[in-house]
Amino acid sequence: MSSSSSTTVVGVELGARRYDVHIGTFVPPAIAETLAAALGPDVTGVAVLVDGDLGKRSPRVAPLVEALQARLPRVNRYDLPGGEASKTLDEIGRTTQWLAEQGYDRRAAVIGIGGGATGDHSGFAAAVYLRGVRFALCPTTLLAMVDASVGGKTAVDLPAGKNLVGAFHQPRAVVADLGFLETLPAREQTAGLAEVVKCGFIADPSLLAIFAAHPGGRLGLDAIAALVAGAVRVKADVVAEDEHEGGRRAILNFGHTIGHALEAESAYALLHGEAVSLGMIAALSLGEARGITPPAVAMLARAMLADVGLPVDLEGRVTPAVMARVGVDKKRAGKKVRFVLCAAAGDTRLVDVGLDELTAHFLPSGA
C-alpha cells in the first residue's frame, strides 16, 4: 500500500446525538484524544472490547489500548472470541457479566476494537448493559469501516439466522484507522469491497468510477481512503434521513436478503462481503425477471464484483435451506420479503416480493 497523510471527517447528523467518523492513518494518542473528547469529561470508566484474533495478529492493538489507558479513567481490556463467534447471546451474557464485575456504572463507556462482529457485539452490549451506556468504535477491517461501524445498528445472531436480536444504539464517535488494513488478510479486504460496490449502485456512482480507474482491485491507500470516505458519506446521509429503517434506510440492504441467508447457511464460512456480493447478484437477477433491472446494469455489477475478486456465481448456492432462512429474515412481513432492486446505478426500488415468487425464481425445479 502506498502511504496517505490525509484525514477525512464525516458527520452523522442526528441532532443532539450527531457524531463524527474520522478516517485516516492515526497514532494511538491521537485516537485516544479523539475518543476521550467524544465520550465526554464525565465518563467514569472505559471497557475496551477487542477482537481476540486481532489482538494476536496486529501490533497496533496493544499501543492503542495503552494510549486509552493513559488518557481515560479505569480502562480495562476484555478480549472477545474472534469474528462471528462473538455474536451470540451467550457471549453478550459473558461480556455484560464482566462489565458488572468490573463495577462499571451508567456513566461508563464501551470501546470496540475489531471488525464488524466486534462492533456489533460492543454496540449491543453497550445498548443493553444498565439499559444503555455510551460507546465508540475503532473498526479495523474494511468492511467494518464502510458499513458496520456507522449507523447504530447492533445485533447478534441466533441459530435461525443472522442479526435477529439487536438494538439501535448510536456510537459517540468512530475512528477508522487505515493503518489496521496493512495486517488485514487479503480475503477480508476483498470482502469489504462488496459494501463499497453496494454504495456505488444504491447512491453514489462516483465510487464505481474509482473501481474502474483501478482494474483488478489494485487499490493504493489513497484509493482505499477515498472509497471508505465515499461509502461512509452514503451511509451517513441515509441514516440521518432514516435512523430506524422506516423508509429510505432500507436501500442499504441491497444484496443482504439472500446474502444473509447464504452467510448463515454456510455456518459463516462465507465472509459477509462475499455473501453480500452473491446477494447483489441474486437481487439483480430478480430485478431483471421483474423488468426493473436492465441486463446492462446486471452485467456491469457482475463484472465489477468479479474484477475485485468477489464471488458472483450463484449456481447451486440458493438451496431450499437457504430459502427457508429467507423466510425468517428480519425484512419479512407476512408472506412477503422486502427486496432492494436496482434500476440503474443510484436508482433503487423497494419491492415486497412473495415467498412463492422467490421460490419459483430461485428454485424453478422445486429442488
DSSP string, 125-193: HHHHGGG--EEEEEE-SHHIIIIITSS-EEEEEETTEEEEEEEE---SEEEEEGGGGGGS-HHHHHHHH
pLDDT in tens, 251-274: 999 999 999 999 999 999 999 999
Sign of the C-alpha dihedral computed for residues 12, 135, 24 and 143 taken in this order? negative
**Is the pTM for the entire model greater than 0.75?**
yes
Average pLDDT of the segment spanning 37-57? 95
For the question of residue 198 being annotated catalytic, the response is no
For the question of residue 317 being annotated catalytic, the response is no
* pLDDT recorded at residue 3: 38
For the question of residue 260 being annotated catalytic, the response is yes
pLDDT in tens, 174-215: 999 999 998 888 999 999 999 999 999 999 999 999 999 999
Q: Integer distance in angstroms from the first to the last C-alpha of the chain?
A: 46
All residues at 6 or more sequence positions from 35 whose CB lies less than 8 Å from its CB, including other chains = 68, 72, 111, 136, 138, 172, 173, 175
For the question of residue 245 being annotated catalytic, the response is yes
Looking at 272, 317, 325, 330, which residue is catalytic?
Answer: 272
For the question of residue 195 being annotated catalytic, the response is yes
* pLDDT recorded at residue 218: 86
For the question of residue 235 being annotated catalytic, the response is yes
All residues at 6 or more sequence positions from 291 whose CB lies less than 8 Å from its CB, including other chains = none
Looking at 101, 131, 218, 315, which residue is catalytic?
Answer: 131
114 - beta bridge partners?
Answer: 139
Count Cα neighbours of 154 within 13 Å in the Cβ-side half-sphere: 25
Looking at 188, 245, 265, 274, which residue is catalytic?
Answer: 245
Looking at 121, 256, 325, 331, which residue is catalytic?
Answer: 256
For residue 225, give the C-alpha cell.
Answer: 481512503
SS3 per residue for 291-336: CCCCHHHHHHHHHHHHHCCCCCCCCCCCCHHHHHHHCCCCCEECCE
Residue 282 has pLDDT above 60, yes or no: yes
